[in-house]
Amino acid sequence: MNSKIKYFSLLIVSILVGLSTLSCEHGIEPRVEPPRTGFSGTIKFINDWPKDVYRTHIVVFKDTIKIPADFNILNIGFVSDTIPMNLKNYNYESDQNPAFAISPGVFKYICIAQSTVPHVSLDRKDWRVAGIYFTPYDSTKYGQIEIKEGIFLTNINITVDFKNPPIQPPK
Amino acid sequence: MKIKSCKIYFTLFVLLLLFQNVLAQKFGQLTGEVTEENGTPLIGANVRVEKTLLGSATTAKGTFRITKVPVGVVTVRISMIGFETKFVENISINLNEETKIDVQLKPTPIETSEIVVTAGKYEQKISEIPVSLNLINSHELSRKNIYEFDDALRYVPGVNVTYDQVSIRGSNGYSRGAGSRVMILFDGIPLFSGDTGEIIFQIIPIHEIERVEIVKGSGSALYGSSAMGGVINIISKETSGNPIYYFKTYAGVYDKPFYDQWNWSERTRMFNGLILSHSRRISDLGLSLSFFRYENDSYRQNNFTKRYSLFLKSKYNISTSENLSFLLNMISYNSGNYVFWRDSRNALIPPVDDIGQTVDAFRFNTHLIHQKAFADDFLLSSKLSLFHNDWRDNTESFNQSKSDMIRSEIQANYLLSENNTLTAGIEANISRVKSNIFSEPIAYGAALFAQDEFKLFKDFKTTIGGRFDFQKVDTLVSEYHFNPKLGFNYSVNEDLFFRASVGRGYRAPSAAELFTTTSVAGINVVPNPKLKSETSWSFECGGNFTLANLVKLDAAIFQSEYYDLIEPGFDYKGEIIFDNITRARIQGAETQLSVNLFNNFWDVNIGYTYLWARDLKEKSFLKYRPRHLMYLNSIWKVDFVELGIDFRYWNRIENIDQEFVQLNIIKDGDLREKVFVTDLHLTFDLIHLGIPVRTYFSVNNLFNYNYVELIGNVAPIRHFVLTLEGIL
């Protein structure tokens, strides 16, 4: 009996030592900061800001908005932090405190969206498109961007003319 | 006029009670001392006069006093977890005289004769119940320096806690504060908030706990909604016949994070707590009053806690066979609102927008329990309780909620014969919520339950019972559920018994799951009034073998089928909505081994649970369920010194909320590892030396192992705690 107890004790001590050793792994560790992925640019605001706006964001969609239902979270690829009101120029970087961060992919519709209601809403009628990113040197074609892992696009510039807004997507 | 008539009724009621007392039986007094075999006084042992409702807890000197014991010959039961229960028979109580008994209890770490109350809603030996049950006693809570109740559950075989959500044998994943499939009771009364339906661990006064009973498997046949995964019943300490003054103070410090880049604070992060408590009996009225203050800087930014609580318990012995208990437990707290990390390089700080967000809460639970024994074989208990929950945060949405949950229950236990106990009762509840995110629903329900436990053959006990529940939430469609159960227990001999049970369970959706309207990280959460209750069928069978009070082996296999599990998901608009999504099956096996070596010098407890938890619809492993759970606990005792090591292990969680990672809401949210935690505890029990003081020292997470239970949340890093406890 005594020898059995000794063996059992030895087994338990071995388990304790073994488990303690495994504990020395230290578990999860910080990931290496990946190279920047995203885009940046400048937004130029022309004329006076409208009074009925509660919030302004840069919003990036995977596809253009053909019907009101396309204005949904699954189609959205990026939402910036709120842009302060009444600015004339705004420089942005997509990885600086976004409301909804961007992931690699192709995005076909980049706009400046302004909310006309105080609460956060995904209802199309609560939003107004104030400006759109167009293909450089061709203001008839929506600009498309392709975000790749570790690539940071620049000069995604948008002009917002409050007196001459772009064609609104269907409401 | 109304007040006047109330006063008259109250006066008449009091006079009736006094009159009843005066004219009742003739009394004597029972006093005594309870010690260990070496003469060390046992504090907090329960002394009960059999066939009455009279009882007392022992003081710092191990003494007790029970007044108004009926004249005649009585039997007294003395019990304490970790010690052999002792019955002292043929004690003569003489008129107006004091009868003194001294009792010595033998320590028995391996025991199967503990008395439990949760499995059948009446007192039973643990070896006679048809389900798996684990116990935690107050010494375990002190020894491990537990100051948050969920930490105590992290060391129970078959139980895992994901952040603040407890799961028994895989019943719960992580539902982000909405609903629980495990019911928590305080002195037999559910402790759920009316709005979220979640367990509020902070409200549980750890210093007032005598023991915790954890019943595994569906308990809906007796307890109704939310008990589909199991029941945790917290039993508070008995008030003492003699005065007890108690204080406990503790202080702790967090070590530096293992990685320098996680070190966000110049200041040492600390925590501390103070408990002051007094218990005494004034004539027939037992009273316990305690105050608790707790502050924690936390090892994470914006995760601080400040908490104050007050606890009052009183028990009035109307007669030897009738008593009335009142409890009030209040808590007020202010804490940082830490939801998830910024990213893995900034793992102890929240996203910039979350800094400065706080939550303020005021909560209380109160109950009134009346018990009356009619003859030796019929006990009637009536319970009335209220849980008030009021909280608000300062997030962008300014979420706030107030809820009141009122419950009432009448329960009868009838001993039909020596081998046949019938338990039956009715229950009614109503809850009212006023909230800007959960709407303002009123919910109510009623239930009828009955259970009979009888011996079909010698040593073969059968349990058959069921509960019928009616549930109505605001204007939604009413629901009806019948949850039957069947159980068996067969004792081969004193050292070997087998058990088996099968039962149905259900859980009604909480107001939070039905009506939440808010925004999380820019994504809308929308209500779903079409939600229906989850249901389940659970089965288990097991056996328990004890060898010469040295070895105890318990093994069980189990299976649960879950239908219409409520989970949050995304709808076609990309909004978060709770829906009846999952059809799940959990199968598993569990084994527990306890060994006592070298005449109580060394105790070893090992628990291992294997879970095969499948989402049958998605054909994947259920979220936040580990496949392997292991606990190992080793305690060495020499005189007044006790050294303990506790390990716990989970394998790396196989499935999580992938949506939060894919949408980049929680950066590096997929980062997780196996859980591998070691705690070291050292106790000096100076009461053995005649000094009424105990000290406890702990190093929790000894190897500073970094792990997450919930994605984006690093679990507590290494910290040191020193506690001083005094009892007079």
pLDDT bracket for residue B614 (50, 70, 90)? very high
On the question of pLDDT at B192 being above 60, the answer is: yes
On the question of pLDDT at B21 being above 70, the answer is: no
**String of b and e for B576-606 (b: at least 16 CB within 10 Å)?**
bbbbbbbebebbbebbbbbbbbeeeebbbbb
Where among B108, B139, B156 does a domain terminate? B108
Q: What is the pLDDT of residues A53-101, one digit of tens each?
A: 999 999 999 998 888 888 888 889 999 988 988 889 999 999 887 888 8
Our count of domains for chain B comes to 2
Give me the residue from B261, B645, B673 closest to A27, CB to CB.
B673
Same domain, B178 and B140: yes
CATH number of the domain to which B230 belongs: 2.40.170.20
Residues 6+ apart with CB under 8 A from B370: B322, B323, B324, B325, B381, B382, B383
Can you tell me the mean pLDDT for B502-530?
A: 84
Shortest CA gap B274–chain A (Å): 32
Residue B119 included in any domain = no
- CA dist., res. B335 & res. B454, Å (int): 50
Same domain, B64 and B139: no
Same domain, B163 and B31: no
> Which residues share a beta bridge with B447?
B427, B469
Same domain, B46 and B146: no
Same domain, B83 and B225: no
Same domain, B29 and B134: no
What mean pLDDT is reported for chain B?
A: 88
Same domain, B148 and B55: no
CATH number of the domain to which B22 belongs: 2.60.40.1120
Residue B117 included in any domain = no
Residue B403 included in any domain = yes
Same domain, B100 and B135: no
- CA dist., res. A73 & res. A80, Å (int): 14
Q: Which residues of A touch B (CB under 8 A)?
A: 5, 8-9, 12, 15-16, 19-20, 22-31, 33, 69, 72-76, 79, 97, 99-103, 120-122
- CA dist., res. A41 & res. A55, Å (int): 19
Q: Which residue in A has a C-alpha nearest to residue B670's C-alpha? A: A28
Where among B108, B141, B163 does a domain terminate? B108
User: What are the chain A neighbours of B261 within 8 Å (beta carbons)?
Assistant: 30
Q: Which of A74-88, B94-108, B295-309, B599-613 has the lowest mean pLDDT?
A: B94-108
ipTM: 0.76
- CA dist., res. B723 & res. B718, Å (int): 17
B457 and chain A in contact, CB less than 8 A? no
Give me the residue from B347, B632, B676 closest to A30, CB to CB.
B347
Same domain, B103 and B138: no
Shortest CA gap B713–chain A (Å): 11
> Which residues share a beta bridge with B596?
B603
Residue B208 included in any domain = yes
pLDDT of B19 reads 45
Give me the total of CB pairs closer than 8 Å, taking one residue from chain A and one from chain B.
Answer: 102
For residue B411, give the amino acid letter.
Q
Same domain, B502 and B543: yes
From residue B680, alpha-carbon distances to B136, B212, B291, B719 in Å are 18, 22, 28, 11
B353 and chain A in contact, CB less than 8 A? yes
- CA dist., res. A36 & res. B451, Å (int): 65
Q: Do A20 and B703 touch (CB under 8 A)?
A: yes
User: What are the chain B neighbours of A20 within 8 Å (beta carbons)?
Assistant: 678, 702-703
Q: Which of A12-21, B283-292, B669-678 has the lowest mean pLDDT?
A: A12-21
Q: What is the pLDDT of residues B374-431, one digit of tens each?
A: 877 889 999 999 999 999 998 877 889 999 999 999 999 998 888 899 999 999 999 9
Same domain, B502 and B619: yes
Among A16, A26, A57, A121, pick the best mutation site for testing chain B contact (most B Cβ within 10 A): A26
Task: Please tell me the pTM assigned to this model.
Answer: 0.82
Q: Above pLDDT 70, what percent of chain A?
A: 92
Residues 6+ apart with CB under 8 A from B188: B117, B118, B121, B233, B369, B383
Residue B50 included in any domain = yes
Q: Could you tell me the two tokens for B598?
A: 């070298």
Same domain, B38 and B132: no
On the question of pLDDT at B56 being above 90, the answer is: no
Q: What is the pLDDT of residues B548-564, one digit of tens each?
A: 778 999 999 999 999 99
Shortest CA gap B109–chain A (Å): 17
Q: Which domain holds residue B450?
A: 128-727
B459 contacts B495 by C-beta, under 8 angstroms = no
User: What are the chain A neighbours of B524 within 8 Å (beta carbons)?
Assistant: 120-122
pLDDT of B3 reads 46
User: What are the chain A neighbours of B523 within 8 Å (beta carbons)?
Assistant: 73
Can you tell me the mean pLDDT for B363-371?
A: 94
On the question of pLDDT at A122 being above 80, the answer is: no
Shortest CA gap A103–chain B (Å): 8
On the question of pLDDT at B9 being above 70, the answer is: no
Residue B116 included in any domain = no
On the question of pLDDT at B20 being above 60, the answer is: no
pLDDT of B111 reads 65
Shortest CA gap A147–chain B (Å): 15
- CA dist., res. B519 & res. B534, Å (int): 25
Residue B213 included in any domain = yes
Can you tell me the mean pLDDT for A137-148?
A: 89
Q: Do A28 and B673 touch (CB under 8 A)?
A: yes
Q: Could you tell me the two tokens for B644?
A: 């303990």
Q: What is the pLDDT of residues A31-54, one digit of tens each?
A: 988 788 999 999 999 999 998 899
Residue B356 included in any domain = yes
Shortest CA gap A165–chain B (Å): 26
User: What are the chain B neighbours of A73 within 8 Å (beta carbons)?
Assistant: 523, 570, 573-575
pLDDT of B23 reads 46
pLDDT bracket for residue B6 (50, 70, 90)? very low
Q: Do B664 and A24 touch (CB under 8 A)?
A: no
